Structure 1
Amino acid sequence: MPHPKVVLAPTDADVPEGSLAALRARFAAVREELGLSLDYPADALAEAQRVAADPPSRPDLDETDVPFFTIDPPGSMDLDQAMHLERDGEGHRIRYAIADVPAFVLPGSALDQVTRERGQTIYCPDVRVPLHPEVLSEDAASLLPDVVRPAYVWDLRLDGAGVITSAEVHRALVRSVERLDYATVQAAVDAGTDDERFLLLKEIGERRLEQERARGGASLPMPEQQVSQGDDGGFALEFRPPVPAEDWNAQISLATGMAAATMMIDAGVGILRTMPAPTEDALGRFRRAARGLGVEWPQGQSYGDLIRSLDRTNPRHLALIHEATTLFRGAGYTAFDGPAPDEREHGAVAAPYAHVTAPLRRLVDRFGLVVCAAVSQGDQVPDEIRAALPGVPELMAASDRVARSAERACADATEAALLHGREGETLRAVVVDHAEKGMDVQLVDLPVLARVSGDRAELGSEVDVVVEGADIAAGKVDLRRA
């Protein structure tokens, strides 16, 4: 007998006011446990203030007449990317300006040392632990509107099918004319806007998505569980599905990263973002999971196309999306100076790929930008950059571990805060994964993912669970199957 369908609409829930103090204390404890400090060393901070006022390096080219614009989450100040889109025959021209962090961070400086130790910006619900001091990341180096900033400008040409036909990158002064957010762009497109910028973004994004399908690439449509802080100081936990405008915007960044990887491979020096393709065993397990959940997987359809077709409001599809995480494992960074490595592709992108579009928030991008600009302009890659490349993968791996730990621990604490005081209540949930002892469920009416003890139920089935305990200080929720 088929199980009744449960509609899992995007949900959000506010943390009760009585739990806020305990939750803030837990966030602070997580940072202390992970060794995350909001304070910058005095020498590095002084250096940041000095170079912000007087950058050591300034581009010769002036492209401030190009009306770049940015698209970021609302309220963002650390703006890495700005774009300008135009038609080019049947295709398009993308000019993608990336914050010129190397203009401010000199190799061997105190600021360079601290950023290598930090690796990336760590986002906690209440505060952000930045890679760079805010005087740089949210001011002097950020591509904020109506100010002149140094940038690495990528110039990409695409044909009528969205294939990159040429790419080059150079340093230039730029000026963004407007700061936009995803919801605003999406609402304008949905309302039938005649703003050429948004229509070009949609057109390019959809062509690049079609190229991704043709390559066999895949993206995981996992509902994003995130903790957000409101203007009133409270916190909310929500499942937030991305809007199409985010996918279109992401395709601009992916195209740039693919162009960067090609430059590096051709030049024989650089650092790639790599991930192995799913193994036959993993694909076999995923196919069996699809069959067990009653999800049709036509013969000859790629796993990427199947994942793109899944409906996050269908509990059986949701369970299969969680199962698909086993296909997206093993991502890392591969540095090389000489012949390109044998393993050079990113399995989900289905092509070589490099991180070069977020240098304000991620260490590796700073090195990739310098390499690509040197290669593109026919210059030698600086010796200090070549010398640093072999150590970057481990620095990034360490910071990735910290970022994942902070995100998970803060989400766990917020889940506990949502359920604190509801001990003994029975809630509805959908089984999304099986564990060695018990199973993982997603609550239907609250944005909570948790482990449940007791007998397992079928993947995708709906079950009743009882809240046994919710410890905010430990970030722990105890549920058992009713």
Structure 2
Amino acid sequence: MPHDFESVRAELELPPAGETDRFPDDVLTEAATIAARGPAEGEDATAIPFVTIDPPGARDLDQAMFLERVGEGFRVHYAIADLGSAIDPGGAIDAEARRRGQTIYLPDGRVPLHPPVISEGTLSLLPGEVRSAALWTIDVDGGGVVTDASVRRARIRSVAQLDYEGAQASFDAGTPHPSVEALADLGRLRLDVRVGLGAIELALPEQEVTAEGDDWVVRMRRRTDVDAWNAEISLLTGMAAARLMLDAGIGLLRTLPQADPDAVAELLRTAATLGIPVADGTTAAEVLAGLDPDLPASIALMREATGLLRGAGYTAFDGAAPELPGHAGIGAPYAHVTAPLRRLVDRFGTEICLAICGGTDVPAWVRSALPELGDLMRTSDQRAAKADRACIDLAEVWELESRIGEVFDAVVLRAGDDEGEIVLTRPPTIATCRGAGLPEGEHVRVRLAEVDEGRRRVVFTYEGTHTGDHLPIG
């Protein structure tokens, strides 16, 4: 391809695209030893017909599920790849994982947290293979409330690897895989519960960079229902883990403070200005949950609502529970425990929950790591976010560099006195637009004025309100 992302990799001190699997020799030696071992001892749960749901072609499979209907409620069997039984505390892989923090995904390849021989091989919950897992069992009543949750070590076998689009097609056809037949009902129910708790749920379409022809382009990806329902199972588990930690007085939470009341009030005023109905007593969570993400005003309001989700962090505690344990985006206390192949902190959170449920002491290697884990994750989160944004910005520049002076259709996301923020309908580029009088939440016409690859930036000027047919963003 004529363009690449090597400038982003160099800036963030990531290995070149052809060397993304590069690890120090001692890390690879230790990984080979782990790969040669069989599954760890644990309960035999191989008769449970687990399935995984991931992007097409994924190999680092952290989670597998089997859902049952129990009376008016549900029982969730959720298996998480068991890294704690395989990785030696204080060993080479442990040290390297602490340095990396998480897997970083770029359009031309990922930079994995762990060597692929284990993260995409012997520790991944690949179909047909017996694997070690931390197996959660979570009971949910007919109102969506968790009535019991526990986790133990087990050996499991996934019977199928599903992807989001294929799973969505099966639900649309009324023929979902039997292991996840209850996913739609449980997913919707849990989302309703979280909205009732005040969760700020944003269904914003996401920009993603994909290969098209012989270059990279930016397209908009809308989350499928299956993707959203699947996420609710992970959130349910993280919320159950946080509850265990808080009750036991030890853990590491993912936290986000409640939005300032004035900011919430301003968001509701903005909704009314954009023509979005806001009944008396309606919460911001309820307004956002009811938006149609295909409407320009909805996209503008969701973009505005991201300002309510600031201040995310990690809160470790060993003894007294933290004063502010909640996560405003989720609606309750929450802990990362469901993606240990791709995120460092989950291995430690899982070990805490296993110890609590097993009635044993939290391992010393976990306890001693708690004070530094938050900082390690904050650093890796920042690097991952920078990589994602930089790659999107570069692809936007490449796609538009030959089109200076052209006029495009766009939606105004944010309006200021002399400039604002817009998203083009095609290609779905988020950019600065100069000009007074930008109508927030409306379709407009804009002219491409500047493309700067060095700064990864494109700038438009406001030409006027769009009066023709409105095109979808995509």
Pairwise same-fold verdict (TM > 0.5): yes
Q: CA deviation at 1:234?
A: 4.1
Match of 2:149 in 1: 167
SS of corresponding position for 2:323: coil
CA shift for structure 1 position 455: 2.4
Q: Contact 1:414/1:472 (CA < 8 Å) preserved in 2?
A: no
Q: Aligned partner of 1:42: which letter?
A: D
Aligned position for 1:45: 28
Which residue identity lines up with residue 261 of structure 1 in the other structure? A
Moved more, 171-180 or 436-445: 436-445
Are residues 1:125 and 2:103 paired?
Answer: no
Residue type matched to 1:124 in 2?
L
> What is aligned with 1:303?
284
The answer to whether structure 1 residue 225 and structure 2 residue 207 are counterparts is yes
Write the letter of the residue equivalent to 1:148. Answer: V
Q: Please state how far the C-alpha of 1:136 moved relative to its aligned partner.
A: 1.1
Write the mapping of 1:86-125 to structure 2, written as runs, cut at 5 A. 86-125=68-107
| TM-score, normalised by the number of residues in structure 1 | 0.92
Q: Distance in 2 between matches of 1:413 and 1:104?
A: 39
Q: Distance in 1 between matches of 2:318 and 2:123?
A: 29
Contact 2:417/2:437 (<8 A) preserved: no
Q: 1:318 aligns with which of 299, 302, 307?
A: 299
TM-score when scaled to structure 2? Answer: 0.93
By relative contact order (CA 8 Å, sep 6+), the higher-ranking structure is: 1
- 1:480: Cα distance to partner? 2.2
User: Which of residues 333, 353, 356 is equivalent to 2:314?
Assistant: 333
**Count of equivalent residues:** 458
1:106-147 CA-to-partner distances (Å, cap 9, x unmatched) read 111111111111111111000101111111111111000011
Contact 2:188 2:229 in 1 (8 A): yes
Deviations 1:15-53 (A, max 9, x none): xxxxx42x31xx111011011233211211221122111
Unpaired stretches in structure 1, ≥5 consecutive residues: 1-19
Which structure 2 residues correspond to residues 336-347 of structure 1 after superposition, within 5 A?
A: 336-347=317-328
Listed as ranges, the matches of 1:248-397 within 5 Å are: 248-397=229-378
Partner of 1:212: 194
Q: 1:141-168, CA deviations, whole angstroms, 9 ceiling, x for partnerless residues?
A: 1000011111100011111222111111
> Using the alignment, how far apart are the partners of 2:269 and 2:174 within structure 1?
43
Distance in 2 of aligned mates of 1:435 and 1:241: 28
RMSD: 1.6
The match for 2:138 among 147, 153, 156 is 156
- The one-letter amino acid paired with 1:172 is A
Instruction: Give the distance between the partners of 1:289 and 1:210, measured in 2 at CA.
Output: 24
Identity %: 45
Q: Is the 8 A contact 2:51 2:179 kept in 1?
A: no
How far the C-alpha of 1:435 sits from its partner, in A, is 5.1
Worse overlay, 105-114 or 362-371: 105-114
* Deviation of 1:237 (Å): 1.5
- 2:92 and 2:389 map into 1 onto residues whose CA distance is 31
Q: Report SS of the residue matched to 1:300.
A: coil
* Partner secondary structure for residue 103 of structure 1: coil
Equivalent residues of 1:439, 1:456 under 8 A apart: no
Match of 1:409 among 371, 390, 410: 390
Q: Which segment is superposed worse, 185-194 or 106-115? A: 185-194
Partners of 2:382 and 2:108 in 1: CA distance? 20
* CA distance in structure 2 between the aligned counterparts of 1:392 and 1:291, rounded to whole angstroms: 42
Distance in 2 (alpha carbons) for counterparts of 1:194 and 1:245 = 11
Which sits farther off after the overlay, 302-311 or 404-413?
302-311
Partner of 1:68: 50
Between the aligned partners of 1:52 and 1:362, the Cα distance in structure 2 is: 19
Range with bigger deviation, 334-343 or 83-92: 83-92
**Contact in 2 for aligned 1:185/1:198 (Cα 8 Å):** no
**Counterpart residue number, 1:3:** none
2:468 corresponds to: none
* 1:207-246 Cα distance to aligned partner (Å, 9 max, x none): 212212322223111111111236x664332111111111
Q: Give the structure 1 partner of residue 470 of structure 2.
A: none
CA distance in 1, matches of 2:292, 2:261: 25
Structure 1 residue 177 corresponds to structure 2 residue 155: no
Match of residue 8 from structure 1: none
Q: Tell me, in whole angstroms, the C-alpha distance in 2 between the residues paired with 1:194 and 1:424.
A: 49
In structure 2, the residue matched to 1:236 is 217
CA, structure 1 residues 365+418, in 2 after alignment: closer, same or farther (shift >3 Å)? same
Structure 1 residue 31 corresponds to structure 2 residue 12: no
